[in-house]
Amino acid sequence: MATEAKTHWIEEELAALREQGLYTNIRVIESPMDGWVTIDGRRVLNFCANNYLGLANHPRLREAAKRAIDEYGVGPAAVRTIAGTTDLHTKLEQRLAEFKHVEAAITFQSGFNANLATIPALVGRGDVIFSDRLNHASIIDGCRLSRAQIVAYEHNDPDDLRRKIAETEITGRALIVTDGVFSMDGDIAPLPELYEIASEHGFLLMVDDAHGEGVLGEGGRGIVDHFDLHGKVDIEVGTMSKAFGVVGGVVAGNKTIIEWLRQRGRPFLFSSAMTLPDVGACLAAIDLLEESTELVDRLWSNAAYFKEHMNGLGFDTGATETPIIPVMLGEATLAQQFSKRLFEEGVFAMAIGYPTVPQGKARIRVMNTAAHTQDDLDRGLEAFEKVGRELGVIG
């Protein structure tokens, strides 16, 4: 049987996605990732990237990556348990642990892999995971891989978590896991309450701080620092693919758990490490964060300015408490149309629809960064106002 005959159903599914406004067209960027990017030969304002601090194209990170290549070459050439690991990798782990004020840290190729490594290493068949209903896909997949029973509690609702715990028969270990900052709404997990519940019951507590790393806490030290819960949250997963401007994942916390992940984290044992230029660039990102809070401060003031003016124009920006600014539009087709018109006005801001957000809750997610000037933000606001009036979203 020819492949085409077996993939007919995929073509039908793809056609349905296009019809519903849910097909993702990936833009091709012809320049470095920065506050402005070149797409189809045009300079457009970039409101899409998780490049919170503008580090993806920062001269210090570029230099550090080149230096790492000069000293160490490019790739790790095998998994670390077999081929060994460079002292640059171990240095990054030490620096991350110090930066985050934890006992130890281990790096992975990505934040996604960090979750796939960690959850199945901590719980398994016969155990229970209590997971926020809106947790990131990589947490959900990590939970599924573990084969533990998964109990979803209502989003950011400690009372519902208590109810779910009371209703669940627990014979083995239990883990409470949550995103730190929820990436599509920008709201923050009630970590102090979750910590209280976890410690009452003796459950493990894990937070995935992908959108809090480099953003929340003193100088970007993350959600645990933000809530001053040092030594209380057992596992902090993070990513170096967002505010750090590079790519890579990290698990930080208790040293026994980190040691265990070096023995039993499957993406650690069976997939090669971060590349050397990535590691070098991440070290430079930590240097910058430790030297000054300037970039973190600018990120927050930019986001506050943009949000205030968007609300003033009449846009609904949901429940965000962080620099993530969702512009709620409702129907996926409207969000796509809005994004297309913004692009024509010189603003790159993607529409986000199901399954990334619930049906009927499509939006444009605006990501301001420290790389944007006030002038940039004003240009963006003008475009939103123009398109918003044209499409009848604001009056």
Ligand X SMILES: *Cc1c(COP(=O)(O)O)cnc(C)c1O
Of 150 and 170, the one with the shorter C-beta distance to ligand X is: 150
Distance, CA of 171 to CA of 128 (rounded, Å) = 9
Should residue 361 be labelled a site residue for ligand X when binding is judged by CB under 6 A? no
Judge whether 114 and 241 are in contact, CB under 8 Å. no
Q: Which of 58, 100, 136, 211 is catalytic?
A: 211
Of 183 and 302, the one with the shorter C-beta distance to ligand X is: 183
We find the least distance from the C-beta atom of residue 4 to ligand X, in angstroms, to be 33
- Binding positions for ligand X, 249-308, rule CB under 6 A: 249
Of 138 and 388, the one with the shorter C-beta distance to ligand X is: 138
DSSP state for residue 181 in the 8-state scheme: B
We find the least distance from the C-beta atom of residue 50 to ligand X, in angstroms, to be 7
Distance, CA of 105 to CA of 124 (rounded, Å) = 22
Radius of gyration of the chain (CA): 22
Q: Return the range that interacts with ligand X (CB under 6 A); candidates 29-37, 39-47, 118-126, 208-216.
A: 208-216
Distance, CA of 249 to CA of 237 (rounded, Å) = 7
Q: What's the number of CA atoms in the CB half-sphere (13 Å) around residue 247?
A: 9
- Report CA-CA distances (Å) from 115 to 118, 144, 212, 273: 5, 11, 16, 15
Of 76 and 248, the one with the shorter C-beta distance to ligand X is: 248
Distance, CA of 347 to CA of 365 (rounded, Å) = 12
- Report CA-CA distances (Å) from 169 to 120, 149, 273: 20, 10, 39
Backbone angles phi, psi at 124, to 5 degrees: -150, -160
Would you call 211 a catalytic residue per the annotation? yes
- Binding positions for ligand X, 110-129, rule CB under 6 A: 110-112
Chain centroid offset of residue 348 CA: 19
Selected from 211, 307, 365, 372, the binder of ligand X by CB under 6 A is 211
Should residue 212 be labelled a site residue for ligand X when binding is judged by CB under 6 A? no
We find the least distance from the C-beta atom of residue 319 to ligand X, in angstroms, to be 17
Region of 54 on the Ramachandran plot (φ > 0 left; ψ -120 to 50 alpha; else beta)? left
- Binding positions for ligand X, 213-252, rule CB under 6 A: 239, 241, 249
- Amino acid letter at 219? G
Q: Return the range that interacts with ligand X (CB under 6 A); candidates 6-14, 88-96, 146-154, 206-214.
A: 206-214
Selected from 34, 132, 208, 376, the binder of ligand X by CB under 6 A is 208
From 263, 272, 297, 257, select the one nearest 97 (Cα to Cα). Answer: 257
Of 210 and 352, the one with the shorter C-beta distance to ligand X is: 210
Task: Lay out the site mask for ligand X across 151-190 (x = CB under 6 A, - = otherwise).
Answer: ----------------------------x---x-------
Q: Which of 242, 307, 361, 372 is catalytic?
A: 242
**Cβ–Cβ contacts within 10 Å for residue 126, how many?**
12
> How many residues bind to ligand X according to rule CB under 6 A?
13
Selected from 86, 107, 138, 322, the binder of ligand X by CB under 6 A is 138
Of 121 and 377, the one with the shorter C-beta distance to ligand X is: 121
Q: Return the range that interacts with ligand X (CB under 6 A); candidates 89-97, 109-117, 323-331, 380-388.
A: 109-117
Strand 104-108 to 249-253 pairing: antiparallel
Of 141 and 385, the one with the shorter C-beta distance to ligand X is: 141
Would you call 8 a catalytic residue per the annotation? no
Should residue 107 be labelled a site residue for ligand X when binding is judged by CB under 6 A? no
Provide the angle, in degrees to the nearest 10, between the axes of the packed helices 111-122 and 137-146: 30
Backbone angles phi, psi at 280, to 5 degrees: -60, -45
We find the least distance from the C-beta atom of residue 134 to ligand X, in angstroms, to be 10
We find the least distance from the C-beta atom of residue 249 to ligand X, in angstroms, to be 5
Q: Would the CA dihedral through 101, 105, 109, 110 be positive or negative?
A: negative
**Cβ–Cβ contacts within 10 Å for residue 319, how many?**
12
Would you call 241 a catalytic residue per the annotation? no
We find the least distance from the C-beta atom of residue 33 to ligand X, in angstroms, to be 14
- Residues annotated catalytic, as ranges: 183, 211, 242
Binding footprint of ligand X on the chain (CB under 6 A) = 110-112, 136, 138, 179, 183, 208, 210-211, 239, 241, 249
